[in-house]
Chains A and B, each alone.
Chain A
Amino acid sequence: DGGITQSPKYLFRKEGQNVTLSCEQNLNHDAMYWYRQDPGQGLRLIYYSQIVNDFQKGDIAEGYSVSREKKESFPLTVTSAQKNPTAFYLCASSRINQETQYFGPGTRLLVL
């Protein structure tokens, strides 16, 4: 079945540690996005990518990094510079020039 997968479902980070969240899609979508959701809040854009080897910062990119080496994959690294990383992270994808985004199941990141 076509869709977006995110792993792991839960992730625990220790102080000073970098962690990487995986996002893979087999929808043949060109654009991919990372959003952060805090409790009781809407989603905020971290990074997005429209083509391989190119990505742009969103509204809250500080403390995060991404790569887009393959069309299907858009991993997000939460670096030690992100001082408040506890949140729910959602990956999405869409066709270029089509606005509807489809989301993965999310990764919940907790700090130990």
Chain B
Amino acid sequence: AQKITQTQPGMFVQEKEAVTLDCTYDTSDQSYGLFWYKQPSSGEMIFLIYQGSYDEQNATEGRYSLNFQKARKSANLVISASQLGDSAMYFCAMRDSANQAGTALIFGKGTTLSVSS
């Protein structure tokens, strides 16, 4: 069965520092996609970044980059130059191929990031 593991319940970082949020996954699929979402205290899930299993380059979106290590089955999110507004819960997710349509997502339990000034 597919699984997403986020081992860091909470992370603390100062403004302008970089931070890495860990995510490991388990799948027997050859083709899969990995996602990171941000959930601020308001509750809405905000899509940040996507990495396909066949993508040769690590995905980047502004201050977000995904450190994809396929052999280790890890997809860590790197946030450069942290800002106070980055304080939120962050979820790693992947497509659930066991689901009939194969389009729903399975999520990790999340990591709470706190950025201080």
Contact = CB atoms under 8 A, between A and B. Distances in A.
Say if A and B assemble together: yes
Contacts, number: 66
B44 interface: yes
B35 interface: yes
B33 A99 contact: yes
B98 to A, nearest CB: 9
B107 A105 contact: no
Contacts of B46: 103
B101 interface: yes
Given A43-B91, A103-B37, 11 more contacts: A41-B109, A43-B107, A44-B107, A48-B99, A48-B103, A58-B104, A96-B103, A99-B33, A99-B103, A101-B47, A105-B43
A103 B103 CA distance: 14
Interface of A: 31, 33, 40-45, 48, 50, 56, 58, 88, 90, 92, 94, 96, 99-106, 108
B101 A42 contact: no
Interface in B43-64: 43-47, 50
Contacts of A45: 96, 99, 104-106
B2 to A, nearest CB: 12
Nearest to A31: B103
Given A42-B91, A42-B107, A99 B42 contact: no
Interface of B: 4, 33, 35, 37, 42-47, 50, 91, 93, 95-96, 99-101, 103-110
A42 B110 contact: yes
Nearest to A97: B103
A42 B37 CA distance: 11
A101 B105 CA distance: 8
A41 B93 CA distance: 13
28 contacts: A31-B103, A40-B110, A42-B4, A42-B91, A42-B93, A42-B107, A42-B109, A43-B91, A43-B107, A44-B107, A45-B104, A45-B105, A48-B104, A56-B101, A94-B103, A96-B103, A99-B33, A99-B103, A100-B47, A101-B105, A103-B37, A103-B44, A103-B46, A103-B47, A104-B44, A105-B44, A106-B43, A106-B44
Contacts of B45: 43, 90, 92, 103
